[in-house]
Amino acid sequence: MAKAGQRPPTLAMKRSAAQQKDRAQYGAKREQILKAAGPVLKRYGLSGTTIGAIADVAGVDRATIYYYFSDKGAIFREAIFDGLVEMIGALEAVAASGKSPALRLRDSMRVVMSAYEKHYPQLYIFFTDGAPSSVIDTDLNAEIVDSGRRYEELVEAIVRDGIRRGEFHTPLPPKVFAKAVTGMLNWTSRWYVPGGALAAEDVADGMADMILRGVLVADP
C-alpha cells in the first residue's frame, strides 16, 4: 500500500522501469505492436484506427498496448521516426560509398524502397495522406521535412557528379531530375504492396534501369 502523500506509479513510470529491466524483451514487444499496427492503419487510416483493433491483431489486450505506448499517435510517430532514421542513415552511407554515380543512384533507390517495404504502411500513409498536427509534433515534422530535402540533395549530388564525369546526360536540370526520381519512388505508395510479385528491390532496380538505360529500343 502506498504511503500517504505518495502517488502510485504512472504508466509512463512503469514503461521506463520495464525498459530498464529488460531492454530486449521490452523492445521485442514494442516491435510486435508496431508491426501489428501496420495492417490496421492501412485498412482504417489514422483517424479510424483504434487501440482495440491494434490489440486484436497483436494478440494482446488493450492494457498491454497502453503499457508500451501512450496512445495510437505514439505508435504512429515511432514507426515514422524509426523508418526515417534508418532510411537517411543508409542514404548517407550510399553517398559516402565511393561507387560510381550510376551505382550510387541505384543503391539510393533500393534504400528508399526497402525502407518503404520494411516500414509498410506507416511511411506510405504519412507521405500519401499526411497526418494531423495532434499526431505529428513540431520536431518530428521538421525531421520529416529535412529527410525529404536531404534525400533530394543526395540524388541531385549524384546526378551532378555523373554529369561532371561524363557518365550522365540529361535535358533536365539536376534538381528537377532529383525530384523526378523521388517522385517516382513516392508514387509507389499508390500501388506497391509487400509480398506481391515484385519485391522492393525489384521495383527499385526496374526504375533505375529505366532511368539509366531508357525504354526506347535503339535502331538496329
Same domain flag for 85 and 51: no
User: What CATH number does residue 152 fall under?
Assistant: 1.10.357.10
**What domain count does the chain have?**
2
Flag whether 6 is in a domain: no
- The residue ranges of the chain whose pLDDT is under 50 are 1-2, 4-5
Same domain, 48 and 83: no
Cβ-proximal residues to 64 (8 Å cutoff; 6+ apart), any chain: 29, 55, 58
Residue 84 sits in the same domain as residue 58? no
- Where in the sequence is the domain holding 47, given as residue range(s)? 11-70
- Report if pTM > 0.85: no
Q: Are residues 122 and 133 part of one domain?
A: yes
What is the per-residue pLDDT across 28-84, written as a single tens digit (0 to 9) for each? Answer: 888 889 888 888 887 887 778 899 999 999 999 999 999 999 888 888 888 777 788
Q: Does the residue 1 lie in any domain?
A: no
The predicted structure's pLDDT at residue 127: 66
